[in-house]
Amino acid sequence: MKLNVHMTKNEYLPSLVKASSISANRYASILNLLQGESSLTSILNVIIRLVEEVNIGCKASILLLSTDKKRLKKGVSPNLYESYINAIDGVEIGPKVGSCGAAAYLKKRVIVEDIATHENWALYCDLPLSFGLKSCWSEPIFGADGEVLGTFAMYYDAIKSPSADDLELITEAALLASLAIERDRSLQFHHLCAGIFKTMPLALLVTDSKGTVLEANRPFFEVMRTSKTQLSTFKPHLIFAQSPKAQLTDLFESINNGKAWQGELVGFRGDNDIFYAEVSVAIFKQTDNTEYLHSWIVSDITDKKTAAEIIHHQAKFDPLTQLANRSYIFEIIEQQIQLLATKPESGFSFILMDLDNFKQINDSLGHKLGDEVIVQVAARIKSCLGEYDILGRIGGDEFALIVPDEVCTEVLSTLTQQLKTVVAQEYSLDSHHRIFTRFSAGIARFPQDAASLEQLLNCADQALYCAKECGRNQFYFFNEQMQSEAEKVAELCNALQFAIENREFELHYQPLVCAKTHRILNVEALVRWRHQGKLIMPDEFIPVAEASGLIIELGRRVRLEAMKTLLDFHALGIDVSMSVNVSTFEFWSHDLQSCLISSIINSGNELKPDGFPYHKLTLEITESLLMKEQVHLVNSLNKLRELGIQIAIDDFGTGYSSLSYLKEFPVDTIKIDKSFIRDVQDQKQAALLTAIVALSRALNLKVTVEGIETCLQLAFVSEKNVDFIQGYFFHRPLEKDALFEVLTANLKGESSNPSML
């Protein structure tokens, strides 16, 4: 097969691997049958079966030419319809008699891609079409004297053109059929092969038991890269000396005992080039000859082997760093575990590493330079490793290291610290970019920490998570406390799922009062969970809900319940608004933002089809969400405001604040975090609060101050011209019934009854 110059290397490799012709082993199986007492029918059946195995969908047939050379007679066609074969038995050959009749008459290949339209089948097409046969390619079978012996045909149930591989296959099948038919007409095997030997497409050699070359065809000299004058004796023990010793021992034991052999060998050829060969050896005797002869069939599979090795490498190794990939690392770990099953006193370590700021590198410099960083990181880590340490890349910026020997904690700590040091050094990507990066790592040991691959990965991942949570640029060894925490989180996650399904959550409400009149104008809905008789605080279960994705359903139910309560206010004539917190997770993607808006609209339509009072609803979001500066996020917030919903920034000042977002994003209110009024005697703190309020006023934003608990804090805030106050000084979060009592009193004009706490 010639390589198409327009094909890429990767596109070409599969064509090398694909079996496009009958293999050397299959030739050998036919030759062994020919040397035995098998009937012509059984041999032809084997040929057809081999062809149909190679070319899926093909139905093959062999027809024999009658003694008078005028008619085709039924030969072998195990998978064609018997009634069809019976119908064409005895058909007279001619230039336009189907495919086989024409091939036998014209003594050349006849390809009919469409039986229904081809002129050769004009008088006969109804018959094959009635059996679903739509195309037929036929090859004449020639004898040693050049005369036609019959035809080999390949039928298909679809209109089909042959490929180069198909044409090669039909040629080889006809040659094998020729051998079988000639052998059937001759009592001497050497006479049967004489006329066909040189046309065999595979390398064929016949020697005596001492290796003297009796006959060799052209393909054999091409494979061995030698000539007839240079090859008088065939010495397999020298030619195939590079093969595994066990293979060679088995080869020579077999042929010395008069038995056939087949297998793969590694050999040297004329130019001292190493090649891979598929070899089959048959042992036979000529008539009236007591000496055994050896027939060698040699197929050069070097290209196939090279392609297989490349494919193997692609399947096992990361294309960017050439390190072991995820699946191969896991395979190696499994092998280590199985090996250690016989050595319970031994062990190994597994280190999971993740770059701390790689996303920022990719986002700012682009993926090309990001890939360069990955390559350099891999090289630096490899430079610190021992001979038997195995490094792999199992994700974008995630690496894994297997330390196969059992080593102490101090050695692992020293190694990991060394890796951290080399990775943290400056990276020079080009003349314009010099960057730094660091990594966090989790270390787990087998069998101390885990008894399986899955457990080992889980332990290393937990240790890595702890390193990330504790500030990054660190490494942690797995310990039982991590496992306990992980099990606690898993248990909490399961309980959370159950709690959502069984409506175990309830809402408490904390009023917000007017800064001037201290009358209640708004309440904030706060979710509470009573689990097994104990109140679990939101800061414990909300992160679990976000990590598991349960926050979507939990958020929807909280909003629905809060909106119901808002309608209860209006039914009682209570003019109070409702604030509901929304998790940052619900804004994480475009789809989630659309889901949030849809859930609010659907809840409003469900509760009040004639028009929900969205203008009395405020959604509280954290300022970290606005750091993303997404156009889609701005559009989503605008859609909420178009409904009449107010947007408030909760815990203002606790994130990485950027004053520009107050101008860019559609925001109505900021809620200043309680940390700003914790120490009212602090002049810097007072100045910050004053500045924030002034800025908010300049941007036409309302201001709420959280966390008011004392008279001193109230007096301090009252001087700052804020709109709303929230805190225990006025009201703790209230259950629904208690809230309505307070709101009813508020409606009657009774002031709130603050208490010192």
Beta strands in 273-385 (DSSP E): 274-284, 293-300, 348-355
Q: Supply the pLDDT for residue 629.
A: 52
pLDDT of residue 20: 40
Which tokens hold the place of 143? 């004898």
Q: What 3-state class would DSSP assign to 64?
A: strand
CATH superfamily of 22-194: GAF domain (3.30.450.40)
Q: What is the pLDDT of residue 624?
A: 73
How much is the pLDDT for 656? 54
Position 676 scores a pLDDT of: 86
Alpha carbon distance 715, 708 (integer Å): 10
Q: How many C-beta neighbours within 10 Å does residue 229 have?
A: 6
- Given this model, what pLDDT does residue 578 score? 96
pLDDT confidence of residue 115: 95
Most confident of the ranges 205-214, 375-384, 652-661: 375-384
What value does the mean pLDDT of the chain take? Answer: 85
pLDDT at 306: 79
What φ, ψ does residue 255 adopt, rounded to 5°? -70, -30
What gap in Å lies between CA 63 and CA 81, rounded to an integer? 14
In this predicted structure, what is the pLDDT of residue 287?
A: 56
Asked if the domains 201-306 and 317-478 are classified in one and the same CATH topology, the answer is no
pLDDT confidence of 15, banded at 50, 70, 90? very low
Residue 13 has pLDDT above 80, yes or no: no
> Shortest CA distance to 239 belongs to which of 213, 263, 267?
267
Q: What is the mean pLDDT of residues 7-21?
A: 35
The tokens describing 82, both together, are: 């018997």
> pLDDT for 98-151, tens place per residue?
999 999 999 999 999 999 999 999 999 999 999 999 999 999 999 888 899 999
Condensed to tens digits (0 to 9), the pLDDT of residues 433-473 reads: 778 888 999 999 998 888 889 889 989 998 888 888 777 88
The pLDDT value given to residue 288: 57
Residue 552 pLDDT exceeds 80: yes
Q: Where are the domains of the chain?
A: 22-194, 201-306, 317-478, 524-747
pLDDT (tens digit per residue) in 370-410: 888 899 999 999 999 988 899 999 988 899 999 987 788 88
CA dihedral 262, 266, 267, 273 (to 10 degrees): 140
Q: Would you give the DSSP letter of residue 97? A: S
Contact 243, 265 (CB under 8 A): yes
As a whole-number percent, the residues of the chain with pLDDT over 70 amount to: 90
Superfamily of domain 524-747: EAL domain (3.20.20.450)
Distance CA 338, CA 289 (A): 55
What DSSP state is assigned to residue 93?
A: P
Lowest mean pLDDT among 151-160, 224-233, 323-332, 597-606: 224-233
Q: What is the mean pLDDT of residues 51-70?
A: 90
Which residue do the tokens 């050695």 mark? 411
Token pair for residue 443? 């270390």
Specify the pLDDT at position 497.
Answer: 85
Domain at 201-306: CATH code: 3.30.450.20
Encode pLDDT of 685-699 as tens digits.
888 888 888 888 888
Q: Answer yes or no: is pLDDT of 570 > 70.
A: yes
Residue 587 above 60 pLDDT?
A: yes
Q: 62: burial class by Cβ within 10 Å (0-12, 13-18, 19+)?
A: buried
Matching residue, tokens 């496009």? 20
pLDDT digits (tens, 9 = 90+) for 339-362: 887 776 788 999 999 998 788 787
Q: Can you identify the CATH homologous superfamily of domain 317-478?
A: Reverse transcriptase/Diguanylate cyclase domain (3.30.70.270)
Structure tokens at 25: 């082993």
Q: Is the pLDDT of residue 7 over 50?
A: no
Q: How far is CA 656 from CA 537, 582, 583, 624, 653, in A?
A: 25, 19, 17, 7, 8
Confidence of residue 48 (pLDDT cuts 50, 70, 90): very high
